């Protein structure tokens, strides 16, 4: 039997592997897909974090709503007493509205641990009584999009490794510079919902005095916590300019509030911005906004609504000394890690998103409780 030469040739079968070119093409396709999907994944994660942040603020708003229903007034920033001589310690060491709402936020165990009769700052005054609770982090006060506070608290000994509890949600003083209220002072009437008791009453706001309505008055706002780095400027840094707006006596002057100070306060904003660069690397660059939730001071428990979220102007204090971040008139305003704006909780328990582009006058109107303004829902 004869065979053709074609039949005598051995058969050639294709190898089952990839060529180098095919492998590179596959890798390139995968890389492109990852590049396309990564922003979507990050956006989905941020949407989840923003949703959790909204839920946190809703808890605060509902806690306030329940408190108002029970007591007929907002929790004030009440002063506490020293352990040594039982005298009132003044604003330094007073308790924040957030701390008084803990029992309405399923944080009864933390609330019951606090000794509200005793100060929460200053070792010599007896703050050690509350040190453990004052180093407790409460997730409901922390925005998931925000990094945790950096650094340690110099005034907390060695408890919980000096843990800074942090606070992303301030109680709103409204559109005013001065964090204190005091009966008989020119600015005794708080324009927002919260203030620190200046030692002579005036910090408790009743339901009847919320004349604009609970659904039209900001109760809590969002801010970024300080990054603890004085060597760079961050949007949440508090610049110590050492002086207030020209023509305004920053101690007990009605012009520290809106509307009385409507023409005098805004020119101060660019003055603070102009001084910011000179504070880098110095103690005048205060990078510890929102260190804690328990202190009824501006920059910690209290903030104001003078500017929209993430403004082009920095936070600012008029303190003529290098003391605490918020024991003087200043700007302690809204900021967030959410794109385009920040969350606010209203006194009726609702939560809304304020855009960065919101007009300053709208912010003033939403922050005041009895301004009589009419604000359209599409204005922010």
Residue 18 lies in a domain: no
* Average pLDDT of the chain, as a whole number: 85
Stretch 328-339: mean pLDDT:
94
- Predicted confidence band at 253 (pLDDT cuts at 50, 70, 90)? confident
CA distance 269 to 105: 36
Residue 31 lies in a domain: no
12-22 pLDDT per residue, tens? 555 566 687 87
Residue 26 lies in a domain: no
311 or 156, which is more confident: 311
- Determine what percent of the chain is predicted with pLDDT higher than 70: 83
Residue 2 lies in a domain: no
CA distance 31 to 226: 37
CA distance 172 to 51: 21
48 or 46, which is more confident: 48
pLDDT at 1: 46
Helix/strand/coil (H/E/C) assignment for every residue in the chain: CCCCHHHHCCCCCCCCCCCHHHHHHHHHHHHHHHHHHHHHHHHHHHHHHHHHHHHHHHHHHHHHHHHHHHHCECCCECCCECCCCCCECCCCCCECHHHHCHHHCCCHHHHHHCCCCECCCCHHHCHHHHCCHHHCCCHHHCCCCCCCCCCCCCCCCCHHHHCCCCCCEEEECCCECCCEECCCCCCCCCCCCCCEECCCCCCCCECCCCCCCHHHCEEEEECCCCCCCCCCCCCCCEEECCCCCCCCCCCCCHHHECCCCCCCCCCHHHHHHHHHHHHCCCCCEECCCCCCCCECCECCCEECCCCCCCCCCCEEECCCCCCCCCCCCEECCCCCCCCCEEEEEECCCCEEEEECCCCHHHHHHHHCCCCCCCCCHHHC
Give the chain's domain count. Answer: 1
CA distance 84 to 86: 6
278-310 pLDDT per residue, tens? 999 998 999 989 999 999 889 999 999 999 999
- Predicted confidence band at 122 (pLDDT cuts at 50, 70, 90)? confident
CA distance 121 to 92: 7
Token pair of 91, please?
Answer: 């604003």
Q: How many Cβ atoms are within 10 Å of 51's Cβ, its own excluded? A: 11
pLDDT at 42: 65
pLDDT at 11: 52
7-45 pLDDT per residue, tens? 555 555 555 666 878 778 888 888 887 777 767 666 667
Write out the residue range of the structural domain in which residue 154 sits.
41-367
Stretch 190-205: mean pLDDT:
80
Q: Is the pLDDT of residue 156 over 90?
A: no
* pTM summary value: 0.86
Residue 290 lies in a domain: yes
pLDDT at 85: 63
Candidate from 54-58, 124-128, 171-175, 259-263 with smallest mean pLDDT: 124-128
Residue 4 lies in a domain: no
Phi-psi region of 325 (alpha: psi -120 to 50; beta: other; left: phi over 0): alpha
- Determine what percent of the chain is predicted with pLDDT higher than 90: 53
Residue 193 lies in a domain: yes
pLDDT at 3: 46
> In whole angstroms, how far apart are CA 64 and each of 72, 95, 148?
11, 16, 25
Rg of the chain over all Cα atoms, to the nearest angstrom: 27
Q: Is the pLDDT of residue 132 over 50?
A: yes
Residue 244 lies in a domain: yes
């Amino acid at each position: 039997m004869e065979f053709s030469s074609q039949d005598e040739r051995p058969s050639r079968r294709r190898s089952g592997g990839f060529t180098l070119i095919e492998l590179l093409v596959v890798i390139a396709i995968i890389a492109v897909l990852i590049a396309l999907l990564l922003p979507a994944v990050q956006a989905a994660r941020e949407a989840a974090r923003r949703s959790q942040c909204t839920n946190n603020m809703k808890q605060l708003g509902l806690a306030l709503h329940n408190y108002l229903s029970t007591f007929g007034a907002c929790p004030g920033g009440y002063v506490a007493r020293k352990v040594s001589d039982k005298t009132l310690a003044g604003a330094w060491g007073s308790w924040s509205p957030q701390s008084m709402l803990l029992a309405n936020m399923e944080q009864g165990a933390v609330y019951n641990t606090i000794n509200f009769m005793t100060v929460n700052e200053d070792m010599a005054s007896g703050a050690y009584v509350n040190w453990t609770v004052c180093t407790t982090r409460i997730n409901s006060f922390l925005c998931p999009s925000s990094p945790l506070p950096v650094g340690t608290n110099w005034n907390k000994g060695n408890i919980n490794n000096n843990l800074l509890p942090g606070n992303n949600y301030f109680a709103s003083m409204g559109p005013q510079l001065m964090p204190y209220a005091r009966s008989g002072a020119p600015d005794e009437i708080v324009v927002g919902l919260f203030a620190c008791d200046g030692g002579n009453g005036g910090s408790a706001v009743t339901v009847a005095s919320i004349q604009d309505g609970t659904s039209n008055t900001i109760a809590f706002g969002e801010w970024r916590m300080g990054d603890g780095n004085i060597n760079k400027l961050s949007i949440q840094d508090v610049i110590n300019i050492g002086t207030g707006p020209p023509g305004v006596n920053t101690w007990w002057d009605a012009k520290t509030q809106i509307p009385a100070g409507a023409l005098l306060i805004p020119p101060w904003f660019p003055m603070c911005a102009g001084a910011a660069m000179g504070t880098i690397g110095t103690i005048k660059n205060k990078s510890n906004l929102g260190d804690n939730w328990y202190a009824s001071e501006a920059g910690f428990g209290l903030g104001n609504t003078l500017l929209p979220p993430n403004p082009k102007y920095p936070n600012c204090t008029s303190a003529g000394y290098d003391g605490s971040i918020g024991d003087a008139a200043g700007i302690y305003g809204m900021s967030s890690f959410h794109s385009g704006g920040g969350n606010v909780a209203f006194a009726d328990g609702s939560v809304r998103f304020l855009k960065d582009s919101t007009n300053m006058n709208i912010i003033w109107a939403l922050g005041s409780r009895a301004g009589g303004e009419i604000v359209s829902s599409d204005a922010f």
